[in-house]
Structure formats: structure tokens, C-alpha cells
Amino acid sequence: MARYEGGCLCGAVRYRADAAPINERICHCRLCQRAIGAAFNARVLFRIDDVTIEGTLATADSSPDIKRGFCPSCGTTMFSRRDAAGIMGITTGSLDDPSAFKPQMHIYTASKQAWVILDDGLPQYEGAPPPG
């Protein structure tokens, strides 16, 4: 089983997940673009209970059901969590080894930036992916 570890830019917040991820996706929605400050959010999804966080984490509600977690010292966004669903996404840019990320699909491509060219052969969905 892969171990995923990472943290913020200044090192004040560290995390690890020892479980296999639920999925690995690249989200192009406007909420993720604004929250991450980039054209998309490449993230690895885990059950909340499978992620251990050390350090003080600040949070902000980005929608009624999504809470974003970031370092209050350096501002690095590392998490998005849906408490009602029991899941947490980890931003791949905050991983110690981002090459561990193996994306499975692109979602919300209707909001994709025009200059982003998707030619990696992964499935693409204009909105949410199909259930399952």
C-alpha cells in the first residue's frame, strides 16, 4: 500500500495517509481554481479517517459542503473535505513526492481554462463524473 506524505511550504503542517486512495482526479471547476489559485486542482481522495494531520490547520468554507484546509502561516492549501461524505482531498502539489499521483480522469472540464490542452488520453467529464 502506498504511503502519501506531504505538507505546507513552511513545514508547520504535515500530513500522511497510509491507505490506498479512493480516487485520483484533476478538477477544473471554478471553485477549485479559485481555492488553489491555479488552473486546476490535481488531488488524491481519501477517507478522512485515513489521513493524519500534524500542526495547526486553518479552514475556510468554499461551498456549503466543502471545507478547505490551509496553513495559517504560509497559506499553502492542502485539503478539501466533505465531512458529510467522510472524504478528504489532498492537493498533489503539497505531496513530498508528487510523482505518486496517478490521475484517473478530468472533471468539470466545462470550466477548463482555454489554454489548458488535455491530450493525456484520460476520460473527461464536463461536470461531475458518473457515480461509481
Write down the domain spans for the chain: 4-111
Taking only the tens place, the pLDDT of each residue in 56-70 is 999 999 888 999 999
pLDDT for 68 equals 95
pLDDT for 63 equals 87
Which residues are CB-neighbours of 10 under 8 A, at least 6 positions away? 71, 73, 74, 76
**Could you give the C-alpha distances from 61 to 11, 65, 106, 126, 132, in angstroms and in order?**
23, 8, 23, 24, 26
Tell me which of 2.170.150.70, 3.40.309.10, 2.60.120.650, 3.60.15.10 is the CATH number of domain 4-111. Answer: 2.170.150.70
Identify the segments of the chain with pLDDT beneath 50. Answer: none
pLDDT for 38 equals 95
pLDDT for 76 equals 96
**36 φ/ψ angles, rounded to the nearest 5 degrees:** -85, -25
